[in-house]
Structure 1
Amino acid sequence: MTGTPSPLVAAVDLGGTKTAGAIVTGAGGLLARAECPTAADGDAEAVFAGVARVLDELSGHPAWPGVAAVGVGSAGPVDTVAGAVSPVNIPSWRGFPLVRRIAERTGRPVRLLGDGVALAEAEHWLGAAAGYRDALCMVVSTGVGGGLVLDGRVHPGPSGNAGHIGHLSVRWDGDPCPCGSRGCLEGLASGPAIVRHARTAGWRPAGAGPPTAVAVADAARTGDGAALAAFDLAARALAAAIAGTAALVEIQAVVIGGGVARSGPLLFDPLARHLTRYTGLPFTRGLHLHPARLGPNAGLVGAAAAALRELPPPS
């Protein structure tokens, strides 16, 4: 007897720096992967051209005819009801009809979610949040996003933006944020924010290298005071936002992924220290802090998980 073939979906992970795509199996394995830079400062069609390039590369794979749907995790905010996205760090996309455009290009149904929700989907399915009924999963990269696992299920909210922790204000009199608020977590803890604060404190990249969060992390590992201070500021801001979330929804664990999280102890050690200062209420203490397990593929796996869940059951 021949078994039912494993379902396949395509996944897209769209951020301010790069756009990635994959063909993903029903068990979360990647059969093919494609990636290109995101033209975040370009016009709307220039940004979509990167998405199209990734999808076109995937469609050339022999497994593509078996792809039943497309899951998309996008920098937010998103509007899952309208199928549109308005990423804070992609200025030309305001209400961009991403679901319709991808459906037109692929001929497949499309499931949209925010990138933080995609991380929560992935880590709750196959990663560090799998053993928890209540958790906050975060992306700390070019931007800062988040997703919530509540009562054993990912909770996207009515428009798909629940858990969007990057735009919690942790400094009520802080710098203006492109979202319209002030003192947002993203402006203190994202990769570009870490670079900005390190440079303000006197750090400069070595040689002719670009000023990136990776370069700041390299300098911090050598004991550079300005670089260490920038990571400490990011960790303190993260601690304040995480403690506020714990007070609001009673989480057990925090899972952090994204490029900045890959700096490891440079971020996690001061974060754990600052969390003890901000979690004063008894029910907010003792949070389990974990790095994400699925690495740079977490957004793809999470977008695929959401798309797989919407497929009709096999006949």
Structure 2
Amino acid sequence: MDDRGRILLRAQRPTPAREDGDTVMRAVEDVLGELERGEAWGRARAVGIGSAGPVDASAGTVSPVNVPGWRGYPLVERVRAATDGLPVELVGDGVAMTAAEHWQGAARGHDNALCMVVSTGVGGGLVLNGSLHPGPTGNAGHIGHISVDLDGDPCPCGARGCVERIASGPNIARRALEAGWRPGPDGDTSPAAGARAARAGDPLATASFDRAAQALAAGIAATATLVEIDIAVIGGGVAMAGDVLFAPLRRALREYATLSFVRRLTVAPALTGTDAGLVGAAAAALRAFPDPAAARLRSAVRG
């Protein structure tokens, strides 16, 4: 990508998520190798990584829950070696999405924002005082593991009643099924099928989305009260449910965001789509390793 956010060259490989760590790394190296053969690679000055978490940017390691072979895996070191020493910036995928939305999406122009990915999990990131705030390890804003139900279901993270345990796509579908929702003749029990059922008026599917919206509203309001964000941007597969999610979310937010300094908080759908992680990883790298020539030019113009 260039400084304007234009994608110059794209490469991708399937993730062999159930294989050992080095096999997964070979897929990453294949992507890098293809990019290196492109004409634009000679101008590359940094590499950005947006990874499923947890990540530890301070150590350069990743431990994605859905990639068992990567536990404390030294991804930054391995990518740096594969790219002949280019500087590497690592952030969590929620932080990457936030960087993308602040640069090119719904959070553009907002100095204080929370951006969320609501999909198979719930992640997020923060913009504070006009700048991306990844935190020391690259996980700041991970709203999915704020507890909003103190006596709620156990979460795989070890806590109880986390936003993710209530509002992620699989948990929305699970709760509807446990309440008695039955899919159509095709047997589709996916979150997308649940959203279609809710849109058609199914009360059990609707109730599960309402519960998810309430959990999201509680987490967003808590975040807004803590750091005074003025917009929450929501992307990911569950956000594609549209008003099935956003209408009850906005209603619930009025019940939770009650203090005077958070009442004007707005919620908006994300705009950067499926490229959010890629765009955001590039944005994080550009932020961490700015172009020295461009910085000198800006300084000269100001002078």
Task: Give the TM-score normalised by the residue count of structure 1.
Answer: 0.85
Amino acid at match of 1:168: I
Determine which of 144, 156, 159 is the counterpart of 1:181: 159
In the alignment, structure 1 residue 313 sits paired with structure 2 residue 292? yes
Shift of residue 46 of structure 1?
A: 4.5
> Is the 8 Å Cα contact of residues 41 and 92 (structure 1) preserved in structure 2?
yes
Distance 1:264 1:68, change over 3 A: same
Identity %: 60
State the match for 2:300 in structure 1: none
- Residues 205-231 of structure 1: per-residue CA shift (max 9 Å, x gap): 434465322222222222222222221
- Residues 249-294 of structure 1: per-residue CA shift (max 9 Å, x gap): 1111111111111221111111001101111222221211111111
Amino acid at match of 1:144: V
Amino acid at match of 2:225: A
Larger relative strand fraction = 1
Equivalent position SS for 2:90: strand
State the match for 2:301 in structure 1: none
State the match for 1:144 in structure 2: 122
State the match for 1:79 in structure 2: 56
State the match for 2:208 in structure 1: 230
Equivalent position SS for 1:81: coil
Shift of residue 139 of structure 1?
A: 1.0
> Is the 8 Å Cα contact of residues 139 and 256 (structure 1) preserved in structure 2?
yes
Shift of residue 41 of structure 1?
A: 4.4
Greater Cα offset, 61-70 or 234-243 = 61-70
Q: Map 1:1-315; keep pairs closer than 5 Å.
A: 24-107=1-84, 108-208=86-186, 210-309=188-287, 310-314=289-293
Shift of residue 104 of structure 1?
A: 2.4
Aligned residues: 292
> Is the 8 Å Cα contact of residues 132 and 252 (structure 1) preserved in structure 2?
yes
Distance 1:149 1:210, change over 3 A: same
- Residues 76-97 of structure 1: per-residue CA shift (max 9 Å, x gap): 2211111011223434432111
Whole-angstrom distance in 1 between the partners of 2:67 and 2:109 = 35
> Is the 8 Å Cα contact of residues 89 and 143 (structure 1) preserved in structure 2?
no
Shift of residue 57 of structure 1?
A: 4.2
Equivalent position SS for 1:196: helix
State the match for 2:299 in structure 1: none
- Residues 51-79 of structure 1: per-residue CA shift (max 9 Å, x gap): 34443443444433333221011122211
Amino acid at match of 2:237: G
CA RMSD, 1 decimal: 2.1
> Is the 8 Å Cα contact of residues 88 and 178 (structure 1) preserved in structure 2?
no
Larger relative helix fraction = 2
Shift of residue 303 of structure 1?
A: 0.7
Distance 1:216 1:39, change over 3 A: farther
Distance 1:57 1:203, change over 3 A: farther
Greater Cα offset, 169-178 or 144-153 = 169-178
Task: Give the TM-score normalised by the residue count of structure 2.
Answer: 0.88
Whole-angstrom distance in 1 between the partners of 2:261 and 2:66 = 35
Whole-angstrom distance in 1 between the partners of 2:145 and 2:255 = 21
Amino acid at match of 1:26: D
Listed as ranges, the gaps of 5+ residues in structure 1 are 1-23
Whole-angstrom distance in 2 between the partners of 1:81 and 1:157 = 10
Whole-angstrom distance in 2 between the partners of 1:116 and 1:70 = 17
> Is the 8 Å Cα contact of residues 88 and 179 (structure 1) preserved in structure 2?
no
Amino acid at match of 2:67: I
Whole-angstrom distance in 1 between the partners of 2:121 and 2:68 = 13
Distance 1:185 1:50, change over 3 A: farther
Whole-angstrom distance in 2 between the partners of 1:152 and 1:238 = 24
